[in-house]
């Protein structure tokens, strides 16, 4: 008799959707390969990079406006 517990759990690769066996010897699970793992991590890095860049730019704009206002008010 085959026990259902002996079958490996299968998951869909988050990057390409390929069926991946969830096994201890699959270092990249739930991804099918290192390539898909890096693609997914890269997507996350791009996302956080863009958000961080936007907020940093907003802060610089406010500082620049304040600095310009200070200079205009300053008597020569």
Chain positions 1 to 30 lying near Zn ion, rule: CB under 5 A, are 13, 15-16, 18
| Residue placing its CB nearer to Zn ion in the complex, 10 or 63 | 10
Distance CA 9, CA 11 (A): 7
Distance CA 11, CA 41 (A): 18
Shortest distance, CB of residue 10 to Zn ion, whole angstroms? 13
Residue 32 engages Zn ion in binding (rule: CB under 5 A):
yes
Residue 37 engages Zn ion in binding (rule: CB under 5 A):
no
Q: How far apart are the first and last CA of the chain?
A: 93
Shortest distance, CB of residue 31 to Zn ion, whole angstroms? 5
SS3 11: strand
Tokens of 63: 């500082």
Residues engaged in binding Zn ion (CB under 5 A): 13, 15-16, 18, 32, 36
């Amino acid at each position: 008799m085959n026990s259902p517990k002996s079958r490996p759990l299968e998951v869909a690769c988050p990057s390409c959707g390929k069926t991946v066996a969830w096994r201890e010897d699959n270092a990249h699970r739930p991804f099918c390969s290192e390539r898909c793992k890096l693609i997914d991590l890269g997507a996350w890095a791009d996302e956080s990079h863009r958000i961080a860049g936007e907020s940093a730019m907003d802060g610089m704009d406010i500082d620049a406006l304040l600095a310009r206002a200070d200079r205009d008010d300053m008597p020569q």
